Structure 1
């Protein structure tokens, strides 16, 4: 691995941290903008795939609404980010994602689910964006 590869991997890891913070703080449109305009999100949690920024922002809203209804703050903990391919214009990434719910009143946390994100990314003028995400349990 050369220093350019290491730089790209660091940038990709930062994208995953950015995504977690955006969705967890209710920045729905910002989270959707981390995907390409025709980006896809396939998750058994939400049923039908979300395609495009409007549907992706709706996924983020639904995530926030479910936390609010439960009286919890939900957070994404993203680990074991594995860049399996990266050629400078496209990348393949796998990452483990743990969704944690913290009860706002009792200050107790529980694991809601642990999944694997399997992503295809492409580099645009604005940086790396997710073109396709498949979430697996």
Structure 2
């Protein structure tokens, strides 16, 4: 069997990797559907969300949901549709039932009657915690490409 990760990197099981990819697909689709509160429920109760281009850290589901709701409502007011795509997901175990992931995320934006365009390209780093058969985000840090972080 050929190993695809660097030799010094531990990898998660194939089943866990598939579940993580499915988790991210659900997260992206919830976000794109404007379901900020449900999306935030996929963070741990004390989970954090931060970006290199905005000061401060959102902490806890209510704070994370409120921040995302504000952004989603602003998009809706402008009639914009956004689509998130997550890819190149690397996942490594850091302790039992805890995984660190690093992935790329791109966001496309389409105005009413207009053409889609690339809005944003980022790198995301998460710490995920197993929750029964699924996952919750313990922490997420987003770095926007083209910035000084």
Q: 2:22 and 2:108 mapped to 1: Cα distance?
A: 20
Question: How many angstroms apart in 2 are the aligned matches of 1:45 and 1:76?
Answer: 18
Higher relative helix content: 1
Is 1:116 the counterpart of 2:114? The answer is: no
Aligned partner of 2:9 in structure 1 is none
User: Please, what TM-score do these two structures have when normalized by structure 2?
Assistant: 0.81
**Residues 1:22 and 2:9 aligned together:** no
Count, aligned residues: 134
The 1:97–1:16 alpha-carbon spacing in structure 2 relative to 1, beyond 3 Å, is same
Shift of 1:105: 2.0
TM-score (norm 1): 0.88
> 3-state SS of the aligned residue for 1:29?
helix
**Cα RMSD (Å):** 1.9
Could you tell me which of 10, 13, 21 is aligned with 1:5?
13
How far off its partner does 1:44 sit? 3.3
Q: Which runs of 4+ in 1 moved over 4 A?
A: none
- Consecutive unaligned residues in structure 2, runs of 5 or more: 4-11, 145-149
Question: What is the alpha-carbon distance in structure 1 between the residues aligned to residue 82 and residue 96 of structure 2?
Answer: 33
